[in-house]
Amino acid sequence: MARKRKIPQEFRICRDESEPRIVGFVCNWGAYSGLEMAGVKKLKYAPSVQLIRLMCLGRINTGLVLKAFEFGADGVLLLGCPSGSCHYEFGVDRAKESVAQIKKMLNLLGLGSKRVHLVEVPLGDGDFLARRINTFEKRIRELGPSPIKYVPTQIVLADQAATLL
């Protein structure tokens, strides 16, 4: 017979609702080397920024960023190489074009264009990177939580089912 395990409180994933939730997409080259340098120097940056590594910011598209907002992000930060230093030549330039579109869409949706920001990180510049992450986190904190509230699908379905009864 299978025993029911009790999960200790300290192992439960919990989120402090007063903290902003920020998703940071980081390119593997310029920006990630900056993160490594920030780590080597033991620099502190906002822990509310959850970083996701991509090979290049050229992988970013409107749908991906809007999905992050749909799942409850209060802000999305894009960290890539400086224009002209992108490992894949035009990736960061494509990302800039996407960001321009995303900002328009965020305005239309009522979230405001300030919730998304692209930073071109000089190769291996940990100080610059940590400063920019902290500045963005401060901006999102001032803007407050996103007006979009993430509701897990099961809850929506359960609510819909309840209305049928």
Residue number with CB closer to ligand FES (88 or 128): 88
Residue number with CB closer to ligand FES (111 or 118): 118
The CB-of-108 to ligand FES minimum distance in angstroms stands at 27
Residue number with CB closer to ligand FES (53 or 67): 53
Spatial neighbors of 116 by CB under 8 A, at least 6 apart, are 65, 75, 76, 77, 78, 99, 102, 103, 106
Q: State phi, psi for 82 to the nearest 5 degrees.
A: -65, 150
CB contact at 8 A, 132 and 121: yes
C-alpha dihedral, 33 to 42 to 21 to 73, nearest 10°: 0
Residues that bind ligand FES in the complex, under the rule CB under 6 A: 27, 29-30, 56-58, 80-81, 86-88, 91-92
The CB-of-148 to ligand FES minimum distance in angstroms stands at 27
The CB-of-87 to ligand FES minimum distance in angstroms stands at 4
Smallest Cα–Cα separation from 117: which of 165, 157, 80, 67? 80
Residue number with CB closer to ligand FES (57 or 68): 57
Q: State phi, psi for 54 to the nearest 5 degrees.
A: -120, 160
Residue number with CB closer to ligand FES (57 or 66): 57
